[in-house]
Amino acid sequence: MMDARIQQEIVLRSEDRVGVLADITRILSDMGINLLSVRLESVEGDSIVHLLTSSQSYAFEALRDAGFHITERDVVLLSLPHHPGFLRRMSEALARKGISINDLHVSVPDEAKVGVVVLTCTNNAHAIQILRGY
């Protein structure tokens, strides 16, 4: 059985400049906030950073107070067993129900038994119901 739940993800938008991630991580580490998931992309002169942390509310406030443009969005957070075929099973289960994956990133250390999947799709709530059945 997969552990699947809805989680609020922080989405930070900043001018794309050298050191933006260093600034963000300094603020969070100075507060003792652990990073669970980070994704950064550079789009048309902006840095867009997606964050899941050990304390979303404190991270949100600290980054907003530092002058960053912050929003939140719902994502599906999934613990996925680390062996061949599990991501395939997950994506096929969603596809069978007509749910399209819009955004996905996965992190699994090589020796780990479980990986972390963060995704958004056309129907997050329905995806949770489907994935909890696997």
Percent of the chain at pLDDT exceeding 70 = 98
CA neighbor of 74 nearest in space, from 118, 108, 107, 27: 118
In this predicted structure, what is the pLDDT of residue 127? 94
Neighbours of 27 (CB within 10 A): 16
Residues 9-72, CATH architecture: 2-Layer Sandwich (3.30)
Going by pLDDT thresholds of 50, 70 and 90, the confidence category of residue 96 is very high
| Distance in angstroms (rounded) separating the CA atoms of residues 81 and 3 | 10
- pLDDT digits 0-9 by tens, 2-22: 688 999 999 999 999 999 999
**CATH number assigned to the domain with residue range 75-132, chosen from the 4 options 3.40.630.30, 3.30.70.260, 3.40.50.970, 2.40.340.10:** 3.30.70.260
